[in-house]
Amino acid sequence: MFFRMVEKDQIADLVRGLASEYEVVGPVEKQGRFVFAPVTGAEELRLDYDTTLLPPKRWFFPPEETIMRFRTADEEVTDDEVFAPPRVLFGLHPCDINALLLMDNVFTRDYVDPYYKARRDNTLVVGVSCTPSDTCFCNVWDTDEVHWGFDVFLTDLGDRYYASLRTVKGAELLDDYVKSSEVTEEDTAEFQRVVGEFKQAFDNDVDTTQLPVLLDAKFDSPIWDEFGEQCLSCGACSMVCPTCYCFDVTDRLAPDQKSGRRVRTWDSCQFKEFAAVAHGQNFREGRASRVKYRYYHKQWGYLSKFERVLCVGCGRCARACPSDISPVRVIEALQTGGVR
């Protein structure tokens, strides 16, 4: 990777430059919370945000999208184009970039998903360093660092950024729009000091020892019944999760019944019908079985395929859950055998 030093007051130029070529999306404040939204200038950006309500996944995998338009008379697809405008996601934290990498595994490998892929290809990612909030536990999964999946990553050194340039496009952006300088040995030492402090700032202590074994060995543990009792099956955890990718597909006919759209929408394994099949059978009828499945898949199912857990420790689900169910609590219960 290559590195450059960028003065903070250059960010306005960078965003202005980017906006001439791309739609720029970044963290903005909305009623005291942060969301990713299109911006027109750097002054709207809040690069000091802690975490956003919703993860950036919707810019690649929208909550609802038409995957094809059809004609019923001859079962022909009339249009399956992908709408993928050139876009920059500006100011993603390492957890959210890591989450994109986990999504990439699902959507861009076997049976490439053309919708996700087109947006991913047409979107530049500019990352920015963060400070841990009380719900963050990315340190537990080593997702507090990120080394690919972005174009530029900006580490905040006070009045300057230590910019990591991952791609040609990222390097060009810096060349085109900002004045940057070479990185000195002192700069790298400062970078190390800042990152060291960042790592010290986490006070989440989650014991992930032998998690896959525990998930299997304690599959019938009463802790799941307890979490099942608490869970409302609202699916909020899935909606705010940057790595939850499950979806439903439905057809919507036009009023003339001759044409229509096939639409996919976000779905959640916490919804009761998620695993229901014909003849009244439901493979995960009870709430306990569904809560368990969510964790089982994230910490073991996905791991067994892609060698990473499907969680980046962003803490959004912990904030969103009306019953305070969180990965930290679930993992602790698995370790100790008791729900706290």
Ligand X SMILES: Cc1cc2nc3c(=O)[nH]c(=O)nc-3n(C[C@H](O)[C@H](O)[C@H](O)COP(=O)(O)OP(=O)(O)OC[C@H]3O[C@@H](n4cnc5c(N)ncnc54)[C@H](O)[C@@H]3O)c2cc1C
Does position 73 interact with ligand X (CB under 6 A)? The reply is no
Question: Are the C-beta atoms of 73 and 67 separated by less than 8 Å?
Answer: no
Question: Are the C-beta atoms of 85 and 24 separated by less than 8 Å?
Answer: no
Closest C-alpha among 34, 27, 32 to residue 11? 27
User: Cα–Cα distances in Å, from 257 out to 66, 248, 253, 263?
Assistant: 17, 22, 5, 16
The footprint of ligand X on this chain (CB under 6 A) covers a number of residues equal to 5
Q: Which of 158, 278, 307, 324 binds ligand X (CB under 6 A)?
A: 278
107: part of which helix (H) or strand (E)? helix 94-107
Stretch that binds ligand X, among 1-9, 104-112, 234-242, 277-285 (CB under 6 A): 277-285
Question: Are the C-beta atoms of 294 and 184 separated by less than 8 Å?
Answer: no
Does position 38 interact with other proteins (CB under 8 A)? The reply is yes
Q: Which of 32, 73, 186, 277 binds ligand X (CB under 6 A)?
A: 277
Q: What is the largest CA-CA distance in the chain?
A: 70
Query: Mind spelling out the 3-state secondary structure of 227-269?
Result: HHHHCCCCCHHHHHCCCCCCEEEEEEECCCCCEEEEEEEECCC
Q: Please tell me the distance from the alpha carbon of residue 271 to that of residue 268, in angstroms, as a whole number.
A: 6
Min dist CB 251 to ligand X, Å, is 11
Does position 340 interact with other proteins (CB under 8 A)? The reply is no
Does position 246 interact with ligand X (CB under 6 A)? The reply is no
Give whichever of 107 and 274 is closer to ligand X, judged by the CB atom: 274
Stretch that binds ligand X, among 96-104, 272-280, 283-291, 306-314 (CB under 6 A): 272-280
Residue 249 binds which one of ligand X, other proteins, none, with CB within 5 to 8 A depending on kind? other proteins
- Dihedral of CA 37/27/134/216: which sign? positive
Residues 6+ apart with CB under 8 A from 335: 207, 209, 214
Stretch that binds other proteins, among 1-9, 27-35, 261-269, 313-321 (CB under 8 A): 261-269
Does position 132 interact with other proteins (CB under 8 A)? The reply is no
Stretch that binds ligand X, among 94-102, 108-116, 128-136, 275-283 (CB under 6 A): 275-283
Q: Please tell me the distance from the alpha carbon of residue 275 to that of residue 268, in angstroms, as a whole number.
A: 10
Stretch that binds other proteins, among 125-133, 168-176, 252-260, 323-331 (CB under 8 A): 252-260
Q: Please tell me the distance from the alpha carbon of residue 22 to that of residue 234, in angstroms, as a whole number.
A: 36
Stretch that binds ligand X, among 42-50, 72-80, 105-113, 276-284 (CB under 6 A): 276-284
> Within a 10 A sphere around the Cβ of 65, how many other Cβ atoms?
18
Structure tokens given for 2: 């290559």
Give whichever of 3 and 247 is closer to other proteins, judged by the CB atom: 247
Binding mask 182-221 for other proteins (x = CB under 8 A): ----------------------------------x--x--
Task: State the residues that interact with ligand X by CB under 6 A.
Answer: 273, 276-278, 280
Task: State the residues that interact with other proteins by CB under 8 A.
Answer: 19-24, 38, 40, 67-68, 70-72, 74-77, 80-86, 106-107, 110-115, 118, 122, 216, 219, 245-251, 253, 257, 260, 262, 264, 267, 269, 274-279, 281, 283-284, 289, 293, 296-297, 300-301, 304
